[in-house]
Amino acid sequence: MTTPQYSVAVGDVEIDDEFWTPWIRRNRTETIEYQYDQLEESGALENFRRAAAGREGGFQGMWFQDSDAYKWLEAASYELAKADDPGLRERVDEVIDLIAGAQREDGYVNTYFQLVEPDKQWTNLNMLHELYCGGHLIEAAVAHYQATGERSLLDVGVGFADHVDDVFGDEVDGVPGHEEIELALIKLYRVTGEDRYLDRARYFVDLRGHDDRLAWEFDHLDEVAGHEYSDGDAAEGAEVVFTDDDGEYDGSYAQAHAPVREQDTVEGHSVRAMYLFAAVTDLVDETGDEELWAAMERLWENMTTKRMYVTGGIGPEHEHEGFTEDYDLPNETAYAETCAAIGSIFWNQRLLEHTGEAKYADLVERTLYNGFLAGVGLDGKRFFYVNPLASSGDHHRKGWFTCACCPPNAARLFASLGQYCYSTRDGELYVDQFVGSTLETTVDGVDVTVEQSSSLPWTGDVTLAIDAEGPVPVNVRVPEWATDATVTVDGEDADVDGAGFVRLAREWDGETVEVTLERETELIAAHPAVEDDVGRVAVERAPLVYAAEAVDNDRPLHQYAVPSDADAEATHEPSLLEGVTTLDVDATVPDLDGWDGSLYRPASETASEEAALTLVPYYAWDNREAGDMQVWHRSDLS
Amino acid sequence: MTTPQYSVAVGDVEIDDEFWTPWIRRNRTETIEYQYDQLEESGALENFRRAAAGREGGFQGMWFQDSDAYKWLEAASYELAKADDPGLRERVDEVIDLIAGAQREDGYVNTYFQLVEPDKQWTNLNMLHELYCGGHLIEAAVAHYQATGERSLLDVGVGFADHVDDVFGDEVDGVPGHEEIELALIKLYRVTGEDRYLDRARYFVDLRGHDDRLAWEFDHLDEVAGHEYSDGDAAEGAEVVFTDDDGEYDGSYAQAHAPVREQDTVEGHSVRAMYLFAAVTDLVDETGDEELWAAMERLWENMTTKRMYVTGGIGPEHEHEGFTEDYDLPNETAYAETCAAIGSIFWNQRLLEHTGEAKYADLVERTLYNGFLAGVGLDGKRFFYVNPLASSGDHHRKGWFTCACCPPNAARLFASLGQYCYSTRDGELYVDQFVGSTLETTVDGVDVTVEQSSSLPWTGDVTLAIDAEGPVPVNVRVPEWATDATVTVDGEDADVDGAGFVRLAREWDGETVEVTLERETELIAAHPAVEDDVGRVAVERAPLVYAAEAVDNDRPLHQYAVPSDADAEATHEPSLLEGVTTLDVDATVPDLDGWDGSLYRPASETASEEAALTLVPYYAWDNREAGDMQVWHRSDLS
């Protein structure tokens, strides 16, 4: 069994797309290279060397630094899955050797504990990320095995998983403060066929919210690991993030406030929530647990209708890096962590593949082009951890972070993007995302080839040339944003009934499917309960959300008002920001005549004049001269 | 010579006004009583006792705690000036005895230095407030002398002033980081006729911006006083407030970035700026210095046309408690310290009396009814230090502050309010503010009596019954906000030519002057450069600025949009908030139908419905159930 993370393997898809290929190339040539250097510079590799040598102390970095190496291995493995690369393979093998060398005979590996607090393993599940790091080890192990067929890292992952399976439910009962092990164990189950990994994932999912260990640790902070770690007091950190407004313990930070199957609202640290829900969706897919599925549907509904930015970004609040209340979506102080957007893509892709419902692919698309993509600079070297929807000009991407979770997370998403373009389900093929690419896969044993070309995101023309050795139905997504859509097979119209998948059930012998997706520049309003957006409009030219930057506009951005029926002119500018379509939207600005020497005047005496507000895709902001940015513009909405 | 602070003495005016009398009564029965208790509780009096006993150490409170006692004495003296009160007089005398006992033979008195750092006097002019405390001592001394004719406190003030005059320009050259001594010395000059106090005030004004001592102290923080004071490191505090964005010394916090006569913009700590400009205006009044006067006019222009809230509040920024840049007037994060509003009233009253120009009285009025009055709760026991123009419901008045400058400053303003109602100039009387009151004064030796009744701020009907023993012209102010105004003398119309003083030159034998000021509820816009206010309107019903509070409105305040031509209905509600006129302004709110289950929708599909936004006077906010508050409402302005 070598079921990939999703139903199509990374190696089955070769992307060749005008929009995405440069991102993926920069990811390979800049990000992955740079991150390898960082593993050495940050001490991540040295930590493994010291652990392998049986030394004590000298640990460098945050206590979850091991995960940087694992995420890099996962991203590098996806690259190896797509094309061999002897140089990269050699470095991958070196890093695997270090990790294997550091692993104890009982399977445990975590250089923080091995070097700093060897007698305090599993004492601080809340904050010390042992299971989180182990989960990333397993994800890397699965990716490496599927890419290369080699068991070098898989054996390390299996050793760790077996150790966890031995310890938990026996010596220790508890759930991790940061979810990740759950989805990793299900991946391991899928690649090994060993039921105990699925059972252990279910144990962690089911125990969450019933378990009182997190609360116990909170009350015994001086007994648990990480109390005096110099790079940040991990134990004390719990006092901040695990308390409610009254200073009482509150498990919602780690989605441990209630059993998952009883949860109604997305709560707490948003990356943790997404990783948990991804695992739960996998679990539902494996077990058919209807109660858990009902929870997934409730939580998705809550997130998408009350707690999500128009970019697909999630988690508005800085201190908890997470969710707050319904409709609390501030723009300038938005957190909307890049990793949370990635986590949302992970979850939604699983929801899509579990249900075959296009709405999940729509959200993957929205998040991919906006909330996620803004996290990475056009140079592939600088990253946003935090993605505000408005800026006064002092928020900029940085090369790296002390808590370096986002850059390697972005790397593994870019490197595996092909997995999100297609999926298979019940013997049918789904074209989920419109990305120029070649798919060679099997659907229920039938070889299928798809050659896709796509003009997205700038225009909506997609061509698919399909070959199959048997009658595999192909489902093509019509996004919710398409104002009109036609799908033809060798020139013959197929039935299109609004948004959703159009099912083309036939034999395939090189037929050409043409998909034409119409869309207009659209002005969007937010629910009136969203205080920051009330009376304002955002501008979309699907799948892109647009933003205004000071560099493109004469007046300060706050002076522009965009009428709700404003016209917009789109212009493709191949030399701007690596090639973008800009929008000039009809707007008004205050007439400055008459204001001379006045600070306050009767409103009835003021006037306005016409102006155009120039917008660029949100993902492209902060790649030029620094200045104000805003997604939501003043309008005439009441 | 006993020239009062302004041209009319506190004791010459007896206020009997439906609006103001309750405030003044609460000030007398609550605030002044409470503050006396606080002097004991905070250790302020104990500091004097210890210093009088020649003890060392044991100092309590902030290093400028002495000034609380002086400000209380000043307020209490104003009460004694208006009516004798044996109990209050006794306590005043006790406090004066303590201060006199603590004063050294050479005239120096400052309990922080006497108890804590006796060898470091005058080493930290930036931050240690010796001259500031001394200035308040002198103000109290002058007020007490004028109220009672007794020299007990005046002698202490004179002793301190003489000591300062001996030391400065000789042993020490420098200016205080917090201005106050300057205006106090001019008051002392006016009451004693001693030129050296005026000259010393001029020395401090002229040296500011030329002096490099503040910068020297900044570079020698470990040599100056206050370095390790336990209640706050006063020396280190300088590193925060006296540095620019690059961490370099910047004197603008104390208006020491340039000579006063060269300054063009109001800068730095706003209370300091107001106290300085008040002194400079006095100096101009005494000396006719045209260059300094030109600076006053420039600075007033800059403040009122670019750096002032619609409430008259000033100083938007928290860290420096002061001014920032033109048009930087955020609402929710406004600082707008109550003391700064009071300082602005001090300055503007002096400008008014120097020029006879009504625009300064207009601003005194705006600030009095709004930016200042909001600083005091309707119970007279709770105070705002900070006066935002929008709140999310978590900003509330408090009983006292560690840095307790605002409550006693409010107390001395309420207690001396009569001084702001009338002024005299060149043998003429001015009716500056419309406050029911009896004035008995002399104008160039001629006895004049005015009986005023006023319906402000709720309606604009004022009656003045005037008697004079000679032909004293009476000037009655027509405020800039009056849309129409009539002034009659015994029923005969006087000429009214827009805003400004209407001069009534005649003999007075009990004639009745009727002033009728028309005004409408008016929607005000702010200059488009004010980011927080763009597209918004504030509502005034002069002289009051109005605010919306959650408690009066069904929808969250952000959902209301007030069209720029909205009608408003005024209703006087005698039992609400001690009696206020409320406004119901025509507005719209989003139609919530159609939003069910949606977070984002095409703007063109949204709709609105009619609603009324209920407003109360800004000064009255936060006296009921906590909730959102806003002064600037969404509108349809472009």
CB contacts, 8 Å: A635 with chain B: 603
Q: How confident is the model at residue B404 (pLDDT cuts 50, 70, 90)?
A: low
Residue B5 placed within a domain = no
Residue type, B409: N
CB contact under 8 A, A598 and B305: yes
Tens digits of per-residue pLDDT, A518-527? 999 999 999 9
Asked if A492 and A530 sit in the same domain, the reply is no
Considering only CB atoms, A535 lies closest to which of B600, B604, B634, namely: B634
Considering only CB atoms, B523 lies closest to which of A301, A524, A604, namely: A604
CB contact under 8 A, A602 and B305: no
**Nearest chain A residue (CA) to B611:** A638
Pairs of residues, one from chain A and one from chain B, whose beta carbons lie less than 8 Å apart: 122
Concerning whether B518 is annotated as a catalytic residue, the answer is: no
pTM more than 0.95: no
SS3 B473: coil
Concerning whether B321 is annotated as a catalytic residue, the answer is: yes
Q: How many CA atoms lie within 13 A of B141 on its CB side?
A: 30
Asked if B352 and B452 sit in the same domain, the reply is no
Report the phi/psi class of residue B104: left, alpha or beta, with left for phi > 0 and alpha for psi in -120 to 50: beta
Tens digits of per-residue pLDDT, A172-221? 999 999 999 999 999 999 999 999 999 999 999 999 998 778 888 888 88
Residue A187 placed within a domain = yes
Over the Cα atoms of chain B, what is R_g? 25
Asked if B414 and B448 sit in the same domain, the reply is no
Q: How confident is the model at residue B167 (pLDDT cuts 50, 70, 90)?
A: very high
Cα A341 → chain centroid: 4
Considering only CB atoms, B589 lies closest to which of A310, A592, A638, namely: A638
C-alpha triplet B132, B136, B141: angle, nearest 5°? 145
CB contact under 8 A, B558 and A534: yes
Tens digits of per-residue pLDDT, B541-598? 999 999 999 999 999 999 999 999 999 999 999 999 999 999 999 999 999 998 988 9
Three-state DSSP string of A28-68: HHHHHHHHHHHHHHCCHHHHHHHHHCCCCCCCCCCCCCHHH
Q: What is the pLDDT averaged over residues B326-340?
A: 97
Q: How confident is the model at residue A408 (pLDDT cuts 50, 70, 90)?
A: confident
CB contact under 8 A, A529 and B556: yes
End of a domain among B420, B438, B455?
Answer: B420
Min Cα distance A624 → chain B (Å) is: 23
CB contact under 8 A, A524 and B603: yes
For the cut 50, the answer to whether the pLDDT of residue B1 exceeds it is no
Q: CB–CB of A450/A422 below 8 Å?
A: yes
Tens digits of per-residue pLDDT, A145-158? 999 999 999 999 99
Min Cα distance A267 → chain B (Å) is: 18
Asked if B379 and B471 sit in the same domain, the reply is no
Cα separation, B288 vs B291, in Å, equals 9
Cα separation, A265 vs A248, in Å, equals 20
Catalytic annotation, residues of A: 321, 405
Considering only CB atoms, A599 lies closest to which of B526, B558, B559, namely: B526
The boundaries of the domain holding residue A129 are: 17-305+314-420
Asked if B429 and B549 sit in the same domain, the reply is no
Q: What is the mean pLDDT of chain A?
A: 94
Asked if B452 and B338 sit in the same domain, the reply is no
CB contacts, 8 Å: B597 with chain A: 301, 305
CATH number of the domain within which A456 lies: 2.60.420
Residue B10 placed within a domain = no
Residue A119 placed within a domain = yes
Tens digits of per-residue pLDDT, B95-119? 999 999 999 999 999 999 999 999 9
Tens digits of per-residue pLDDT, B8-43? 999 999 999 999 999 999 999 999 999 999 999 999
SS3 A512: strand
CB contact under 8 A, B598 and A635: no
Tens digits of per-residue pLDDT, A544-594? 999 999 999 999 999 999 999 999 999 999 999 999 999 999 999 999 998
Residue type, B48: F
Q: CB–CB of A208/A260 below 8 Å?
A: yes
Cα separation, A592 vs A588, in Å, equals 12
Tens digits of per-residue pLDDT, A108-138? 999 999 999 999 999 999 889 999 999 999 9
Asked if B197 and B78 sit in the same domain, the reply is yes
Min Cα distance B45 → chain A (Å) is: 37
Min Cα distance B161 → chain A (Å) is: 41
Residue A25 placed within a domain = yes
Q: What is the pLDDT averaged over residues B316-332?
A: 96
Residue A445 placed within a domain = yes
CB contact under 8 A, B637 and A603: yes
Asked if B486 and B628 sit in the same domain, the reply is no
CB contacts, 8 Å: A601 with chain B: 524-525
pLDDT of residue A212: 78
CB contact under 8 A, A525 and B565: no
| Ramachandran angles phi, psi of A548, nearest 5° | -95, 135
pLDDT of residue B386: 96
| Ramachandran angles phi, psi of A242, nearest 5° | -100, 20
CB contact under 8 A, B603 and A635: yes
Tens digits of per-residue pLDDT, A329-352? 999 999 999 999 999 999 999 999
Q: What is the pLDDT averaged over residues B254-268?
A: 96
CB contacts, 8 Å: B613 with chain A: none
Number of domains chain B contains: 3
Element (H, E) at B334: none
Read off the tokens for B382: 């709770």
Asked if B439 and B348 sit in the same domain, the reply is no
End of a domain among B371, B399, B420?
Answer: B420
CATH number of the domain within which A245 lies: 1.50.10
Residue A2 placed within a domain = no
> What is the DSSP code string of B60-87?
-S-TTTHHHHHHHHHHHHHHHHHS--HH
Cα separation, B483 vs B96, in Å, equals 50
Non-local (6+) Cβ contacts of A465 within 8 A are A450, A451, A452, A510, A511, A512, A513
CB contacts, 8 Å: B534 with chain A: 558-559, 590, 634
Read off the tokens for B260: 């006063």
pLDDT of residue A54: 93
Cα separation, A454 vs A275, in Å, equals 30
Q: Which ipTM did the prediction report? A: 0.94
DSSP label of B372? I
Cis, peptide link before residue A590, omega less than 30° from 0? no
Asked if A606 and A506 sit in the same domain, the reply is no
pLDDT of residue A1: 44
Min Cα distance A247 → chain B (Å) is: 18
Min Cα distance B573 → chain A (Å) is: 27
Asked if A92 and A77 sit in the same domain, the reply is yes
End of a domain among B371, B390, B420?
Answer: B420
CB contact under 8 A, A310 and B522: no
Cα separation, B436 vs B463, in Å, equals 9
CB contacts, 8 Å: B590 with chain A: 528, 534, 637-638
Cα separation, B361 vs B610, in Å, equals 39
Residue A3 placed within a domain = no
**Nearest chain A residue (CA) to B540:** A602
Considering only CB atoms, B604 lies closest to which of A559, A564, A600, namely: A564
Asked if A356 and A504 sit in the same domain, the reply is no
pLDDT of residue B405: 67
For the cut 90, the answer to whether the pLDDT of residue B177 exceeds it is yes
